[in-house]
């Protein structure tokens, strides 16, 4: 600890949620505060048990309240389950501060999960359409209702979002029952709050950010941003930028536009305003372009099926797609020039040159509106015009560089093309650089420099640190099985049986529940399956599970523990059971990680490695694109049994490659590994561990 850090004590941290700081917590608060006061960014690889939520909030609140100018803290998470931790932490902070220093907090989730209307139960796409429709037609009474008393209640004491929704349904203004929209009330309260808790989308999806910040009356430059579980942010941005289309999508987009064009034409004819007349003309032009584009796209998909494939895929150059749209514009403008020159305005003859025409086509497609009825049994709720509009938008925004890749595969009846943004920093970098400062933290934000590179923050005004785990290594030993692997060329019946034997040995020697994770659902079925293990009940994750299913599973684990029954819980890396779920009160005694979840070979993955090599050097290509994300997924799974200093658990890694140089350098520097060469050794190691190391009571931590 440096001299500066040693000068900071628990008593000097005004907004600490606890009476005493945990090991490593003071150092993290000091580092975060120093970065925020300099208007910079701090990346914290902070393991479970350090109290990173409390540390980040203590630093951010202090920085916000001592800043020159207004500051609002945006605490962003990737999972709803993490919201409760933030709200509870702020409540503890308020319990230790005088009333005039209380922290005001607003907790929000998606609109559908906060809606008090009957159509809140519809599918996300249908809900979004019905909600927008109800607001635009001013037919949503809760949204129109003003409830200043509810807004004051939100700010008076932190509320979990579920509490807010319940309160909105029973709230009264001056003794009169007032059903109001809790989502709207929460959003309007943010301008007067110290802390906003929400999803990544609020800042890292352009349209959501612009709408949210405008409605909240806050400016990006005044925000202190905390990103929790920040190791998820690069992939979350990449996934959010994926676009997929087929010839059918092009056809449906044309139909959407045609219906909307007719509606606008009727309005222009009856009202005759200049704005509607111009919009009608632009829509007619765009419709003609999409009809021409539809034929060209069908030809493209047919041609692609006859072209050579790699990994059963084909790369489609950006220029090839862009030229289809531009050629369609040329064709339509030529027809207009010959046939309708006297009738059409100059705007329609040539809306613009080159890419300007694509901007106009994009804007028209994104402006398409359709109406649906909640009572329709099978409403057409997908606005494919918007999908093509976003496709063109991404092409205009990223298509000049090498960060945008299009991949064709033959899946489905017609084949499909998927776009991939290789560089999430093109989205996150401008946002984080414009805010007043940020803290990015995770137990597996390792190495921090990699995430600074991937998120486009840069090295200027950026600090990073890996904090030591507060858990004694003897309470969380790691054992690597040296006789098994899931490497494709080494798979065999005998290898599979040895993996199962190691898991059985772990189950036989563990006093309670055991979790096991695999790289994929197919491998989950292959290595675990039903009825393969004795003495335990196997519960396998399903890809369709919801948050409610996972919450119920925690109750099942608790009930089984009380009844003396043992469960072998099995899931996949990166799934609902391996990240973001709190197995509290020592629900798990051991965890086994089968294999290494490297991404499968693909054109997208090959392009990603090439792009990273060009941006960050050849030495980082494999690590940034494959090996480090894979090991970080394992680290997330390994951390599931260890949720407090009181816990103890055994970790079994079922792949000998974990000790290879390629992978061992991806583990944190304080990682120590033992080896086991056969299931009997695993059983002996586990028995010695559980007989020697007892779980501490919660109070002793």
In a domain, 339, yes or no: yes
Contact yes or no for 510/504 (Cβ under 8 A) = no
Do both 413 and 351 map to the same domain?
A: yes
Torsion sign (Cα): 531, 535, 541, 542: positive
In whole angstroms, what is the distance from residue 83 CA to residue 226 CA? 13
In whole angstroms, what is the distance from residue 331 CA to residue 352 CA? 14
Torsion sign (Cα): 283, 288, 293, 299: positive
In a domain, 89, yes or no: no
In whole angstroms, what is the distance from residue 436 CA to residue 219 CA? 10
List 227's β-bridge partners, or say none: 76, 440
How large is the C-alpha radius of gyration of the chain? 28
In a domain, 303, yes or no: yes
Contact yes or no for 449/619 (Cβ under 8 A) = no
Do both 417 and 527 map to the same domain?
A: no
Q: For 562, phi and psi rounded to 5 degrees?
A: -65, -30
What element of type H or E holds 569?
strand 567-572
Q: What is the pLDDT of residue 10?
A: 56
DSSP H helices in 415-460: 425-434, 448-454
DSSP H helices in 69-160: 83-95, 111-114, 124-136, 141-144, 148-156
CA distances from 69 to 65, 217, 309 (A): 9, 15, 57
Do both 520 and 656 map to the same domain?
A: yes
In whole angstroms, what is the distance from residue 469 CA to residue 488 CA? 34
List 666's β-bridge partners, or say none: none
Do both 357 and 491 map to the same domain?
A: no
- The encoded tokens of residue 185 equal 């009330």
pLDDT tens, position by position, 349-379: 445 566 789 999 999 999 998 876 555 554 5
Full residue range of the structural domain in which residue 340 is found: 243-421
List 443's β-bridge partners, or say none: none
Contact yes or no for 611/423 (Cβ under 8 A) = yes
In a domain, 133, yes or no: no
Do both 482 and 406 map to the same domain?
A: no
Find tokens 């449906």 and name the residue. 252
Residue 29 Rama label (left phi>0; alpha psi -120 to 50; beta): alpha
Q: Is 63 helix (H, G, I), strand (E, B) or coil?
A: helix
Q: What is the pLDDT of residue 5?
A: 39
Q: What is the pLDDT of residue 109?
A: 93
Distance of CA 51 to the CA centre of its chain: 22
Q: What is the pLDDT of residue 341?
A: 33
Q: For 439, phi and psi rounded to 5 degrees?
A: -125, 120
Find tokens 């090599």 and name the residue. 613
- Look at residues 421, 442, 464 and tell me which one is the last residue of a structural domain: 421
Contact yes or no for 471/649 (Cβ under 8 A) = no
In whole angstroms, what is the distance from residue 439 CA to residue 435 CA? 11
Encode 613-661 in three state secondary structure: HHHHCHHHHHHHHHHHHHHHHHHHHHCCCCCCCCCCCEEEEECHHHHCH
Q: For 143, phi and psi rounded to 5 degrees?
A: -70, -35
Q: What angle do CA 624, 628, 632 make, to 5 degrees?
A: 135
Q: What is the pLDDT of residue 471?
A: 66
| Nearest CA-CA partner of 104 in 114, 115, 93 | 93
- The encoded tokens of residue 573 equal 């890396």
Q: What is the DSSP letter of 419?
A: E
In a domain, 272, yes or no: yes
Q: Is the bond preceding residue 447 a cis peptide, omega within 30 degrees? A: yes
Q: Are strands 313-316 and 404-409 parallel, antiparallel or unpaired?
A: antiparallel
What CATH number corresponds to the domain at position 575? 3.40.50.300
Total number of domains constituting the chain: 2
Do both 503 and 406 map to the same domain?
A: no
In a domain, 515, yes or no: yes
Sequence-distant (6+) residues with CB within 8 A of 579 are 79, 229, 232, 636, 637
In whole angstroms, what is the distance from residue 491 CA to residue 514 CA? 24
Q: What is the pLDDT of residue 8?
A: 45
- The encoded tokens of residue 380 equal 């057409």
| Low pLDDT (below 70) residues in the chain | 1-11, 335-354, 372-382, 471-473, 530-531, 580, 695-701
In whole angstroms, what is the distance from residue 364 CA to residue 369 CA? 10
Q: For 35, phi and psi rounded to 5 degrees?
A: -65, -45
Do both 553 and 412 map to the same domain?
A: no
Do both 610 and 488 map to the same domain?
A: yes
In a domain, 231, yes or no: no
Do both 501 and 584 map to the same domain?
A: yes
Q: What is the pLDDT of residue 473?
A: 67
Mean predicted lDDT score pLDDT of the chain: 89
Contact yes or no for 238/77 (Cβ under 8 A) = no
- Look at residues 421, 441, 462 and tell me which one is the last residue of a structural domain: 421
In whole angstroms, what is the distance from residue 506 CA to residue 684 CA? 9
Q: What angle do CA 440, 94, 56 make, to 5 degrees?
A: 10
User: Listing from the earlier edge strand, what are the strands of the sheet with 223-227?
Assistant: 105-107, 195-199, 72-77, 223-227, 437-442, 41-45, 462-466
- Look at residues 380, 397, 421 and tell me which one is the last residue of a structural domain: 421
Do both 391 and 480 map to the same domain?
A: no
Do both 524 and 602 map to the same domain?
A: yes
Q: What is the pTM of this model?
A: 0.89
Q: Are strands 172-173 and 176-177 parallel, antiparallel or unpaired?
A: antiparallel
Do both 378 and 517 map to the same domain?
A: no
Kindly report the number of other CB atoms within 10 A of residue 153's CB atom: 17
In a domain, 593, yes or no: yes
């Amino acid at each position: 600890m440096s001299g500066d850090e040693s000068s900071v004590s628990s008593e000097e941290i005004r907004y600490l949620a606890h009476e005493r700081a945990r090991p490593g917590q003071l150092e993290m608060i000091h580092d975060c505060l120093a970065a925020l006061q300099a208007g910079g960014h701090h990346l914290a690889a902070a393991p479970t048990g350090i109290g990173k939520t409390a540390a980040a909030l203590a630093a951010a609140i202090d920085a916000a309240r001592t800043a020159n100018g207004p500051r609002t803290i945006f605490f962003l998470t990737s999972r709803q389950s993490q919201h409760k931790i933030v709200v509870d932490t702020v409540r503890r902070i308020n319990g230790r501060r005088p009333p005039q220093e209380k922290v005001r907090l607003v907790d929000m989730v998606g609109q559908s999960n906060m809606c008090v209307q009957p159509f809140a139960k519809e599918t996300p796409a249908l809900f979004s359409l019905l909600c927008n429709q109800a607001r635009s037609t001013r037919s949503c009474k809760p949204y129109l209702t003003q409830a200043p008393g509810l807004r004051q209640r939100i700010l008076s004491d932190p509320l979990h979002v579920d509490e807010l929704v319940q309160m909105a349904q029973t709230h009264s203004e001056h003794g009169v029952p007032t059903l109001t929209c809790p989502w709207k009330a929460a959003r309007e309260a943010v301008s007067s709050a110290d802390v906003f808790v929400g999803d990544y989308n609020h800042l890292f999806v352009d349209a959501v950010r612009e709408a949210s910040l405008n409605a909240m009356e806050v400016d990006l430059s005044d925000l202190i941003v905390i990103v929790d579980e920040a190791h998820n942010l690069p992939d979350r941005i990449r996934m959010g930028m994926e676009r997929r289309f087929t010839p059918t999508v092009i056809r449906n987009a044309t139909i959407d536009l045609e219906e909307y064009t007719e509606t606008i034409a009727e309005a222009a004819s009856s009202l005759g305003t200049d704005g509607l007349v111009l919009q009608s003309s632009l829509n007619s032009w765009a419709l003609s372009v999409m009809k021409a584009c539809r034929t060209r796209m069908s030809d493209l998909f047919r041609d692609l099926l006859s072209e050579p494939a790699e990994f059963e895929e084909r790369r489609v150059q950006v220029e090839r797609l862009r030229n289809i749209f531009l050629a369609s514009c040329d064709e339509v403008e030529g027809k207009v020039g010959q046939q309708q020159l006297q009738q059409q305005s100059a705007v329609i003859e040539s809306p613009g040159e080159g890419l300007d025409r694509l901007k106009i086509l994009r804007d028209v497609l994104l402006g398409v509106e359709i109406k649906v009825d909640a009572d329709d049994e099978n409403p057409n709720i997908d606005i494919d015009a918007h999908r093509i509009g976003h496709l063109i938008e991404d092409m205009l925004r990223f298509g000049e560089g090498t960060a945008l890749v299009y991949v064709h595969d033959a899946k489905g009846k017609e084949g499909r093309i998927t776009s991939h943004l290789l560089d999430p920093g093109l989205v996150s970098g401008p946002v984080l650089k414009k805010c007043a400062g940020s803290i990015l933290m995770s137990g597996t934000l390792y190495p921090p420099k990699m995430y600074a590179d991937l998120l486009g923050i840069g090295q200027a005004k950026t600090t990073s640190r890996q904090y030591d785990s507060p858990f004694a290594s003897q309470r969380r030993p790691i054992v690597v099985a040296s006789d098994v692997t899931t490497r494709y060329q080494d798979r065999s019946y005998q290898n599979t049986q040895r993996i199962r034997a190691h898991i059985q040995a772990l189950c036989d020697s563990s006093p309670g529940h055991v979790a096991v994770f695999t790289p994929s659902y197919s491998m989950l079925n292959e290595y675990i399956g039903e009825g393969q293990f004795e003495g335990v009940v196997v519960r396998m994750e399903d890809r369709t599970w919801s948050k409610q299913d996972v919450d119920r599973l925690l109750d099942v684990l608790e009930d089984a523990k009380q009844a003396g029954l043992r469960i072998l819980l099995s899931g996949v890396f990166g799934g609902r059971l391996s990240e973001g779920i709190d197995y509290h009160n020592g629900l798990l005694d051991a965890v086994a990680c089968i294999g290494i979840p490297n991404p499968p070979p693909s054109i997208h993955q090959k392009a990603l490695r090439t792009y990273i090599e060009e941006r960050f050097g050849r030495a980082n290509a494999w690590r940034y694109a494959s090996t480090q994300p894979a090991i970080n997924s394992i680290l997330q799974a390994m951390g599931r049994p260890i949720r407090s200093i009181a816990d103890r658990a055994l970790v079994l890694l079922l792949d000998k490659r974990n000790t290879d140089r390629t992978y061992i350098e991806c583990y944190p520097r304080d990682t120590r590994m033992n080896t086991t060469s056969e299931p009997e050794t695993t059983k002996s190691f586990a028995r010695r561990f559980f007989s020697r190391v007892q779980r501490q009571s919660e109070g002793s931590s």
